[in-house]
């Protein structure tokens, strides 16, 4: 597979301070990988032999609970490192990583991690900054799962994905990768039926427009307001967590996956 040129890599935060010679050096050590959407990049529990950077596309982190329920932990956007358990001394992956759409990825063996952190200016600092941002997102998710109603959790999830990967279209702002109603249910600890009910109601109200795998938010301000308080849509049958999800298993699935 053809190694990318230096420009895309040089635009990523971990490598943005490197000169052309250093970028070429890093690229010559890399193994490129271009998985199609839906491809599993690595599995939960698999030995973590390599670390990766995403040059294009989006990667979805997924975990299965002991009860067999799937939780979507977070989404990784282009320019971010992932699979960096080596930075925290983790020998195995804590999540399954799946390409949410077509991706371009570079990876290196873990043996090169100490070389990169000492030799390339800014690499370690930017990696720590990325880990900190993910930890903050995990903290926010824990608060949402613990305290918010289902409608509020869904209303929080859509703007979060837009902030990460939104793109303007004629009717509003579109989430920049394929996202299904089941995916949203897996992110928010509820059922696909409940997500469908709220999205359909919001579509009638002019807040969103949704198709099978794409969602456009037409009124981001109203959706943000909804995330802090319930609307007049009946939420009586959607408690803090869906009945098939135990709070402790949902929360456990969100904690401690910043490096995976």
Structure confidence at residue 230 (pLDDT): 60
Per residue of the chain (260 residues), give pLDDT as tens: 556 678 899 999 999 999 999 999 999 999 999 999 999 999 999 999 999 999 999 999 999 887 778 889 889 999 999 999 998 899 999 999 999 999 999 999 999 999 999 999 999 999 889 888 888 888 888 888 889 999 999 999 999 999 888 999 999 999 999 999 999 999 998 999 999 999 999 999 999 999 888 999 999 999 988 888 665 554 434 443 443 444 444 444 544 455 66
Structure confidence at residue 238 (pLDDT): 41
Q: Which of 92, 12, 81, 58 is nearest to 256 (CA)?
A: 92
Contact residues for 229 (Cβ-Cβ < 8 A; gap 6+): 152
SS3 of 212, please? Answer: coil
SS3 of 191, please? Answer: coil
Contact residues for 104 (Cβ-Cβ < 8 A; gap 6+): 4, 8, 32, 33, 34, 54, 55, 56, 57
> What are the structure tokens assigned to 252, written together?
């456990």
Q: Which of 200, 196, 162 is nearest to 182 (CA)?
A: 196
Q: Residue 228's Cα: distance from chain center in Å?
A: 22
In DSSP terms, which residues pair with 186 in a beta bridge?
none
Structure confidence at residue 243 (pLDDT): 37
Q: Provide the 10 A C-beta neighbour count for residue 104.
A: 17
pTM of model > 0.85: no
Structure confidence at residue 256 (pLDDT): 46
Domains of the chain: 6-143 (2.60.120.10), 149-239 (1.10.10.10)
Structure confidence at residue 237 (pLDDT): 41
């Amino acid at each position: 597979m053809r190694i990318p040129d230096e420009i895309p890599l040089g635009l990523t935060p971990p490598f943005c301070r490197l000169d052309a010679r250093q970028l070429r050096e890093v690229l010559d050590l890399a193994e490129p990988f271009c998985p199609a959407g839906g491809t599993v990049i690595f599995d939960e529990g698999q030995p973590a032999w390599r670390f990766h950077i995403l040059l294009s596309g989006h990667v979805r982190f997924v975990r299965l609970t002991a009860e067999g329920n799937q939780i979507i932990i977070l989404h990784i956007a282009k320019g971010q490192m992932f699979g960096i358990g080596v930075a925290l001394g983790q020998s195995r992956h804590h999540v399954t990583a799946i390409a949410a759409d077509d991706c371009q990825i570079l990876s290196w063996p873990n043996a090169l991690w100490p070389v990169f952190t000492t030799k390339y200016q800014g690499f370690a600092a930017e990696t720590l900054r990325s880990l900190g941002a993910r930890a903050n997102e995990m903290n926010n998710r824990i608060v949402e799962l613990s305290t918010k109603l289902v409608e509020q959790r869904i209303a929080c999830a859509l703007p979060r994905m837009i902030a990460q990967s939104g793109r303007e279209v004629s009717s509003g702002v579109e989430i920049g990768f394929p996202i299904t109603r089941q995916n949203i249910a897996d992110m928010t600890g509820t059922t696909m039926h409940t997500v469908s009910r709220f999205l359909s109601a919001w579509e009638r109200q002019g807040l969103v427009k949704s198709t099978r795998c794409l969602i456009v938010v037409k009124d981001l301000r109203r959706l943000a307001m909804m995330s802090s308080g319930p609307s007049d849509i009946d939420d009586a049958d959607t408690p803090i967590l869906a009945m098939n999800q135990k709070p402790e298993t949902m929360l456990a699935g969100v904690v401690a996956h910043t490096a995976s």
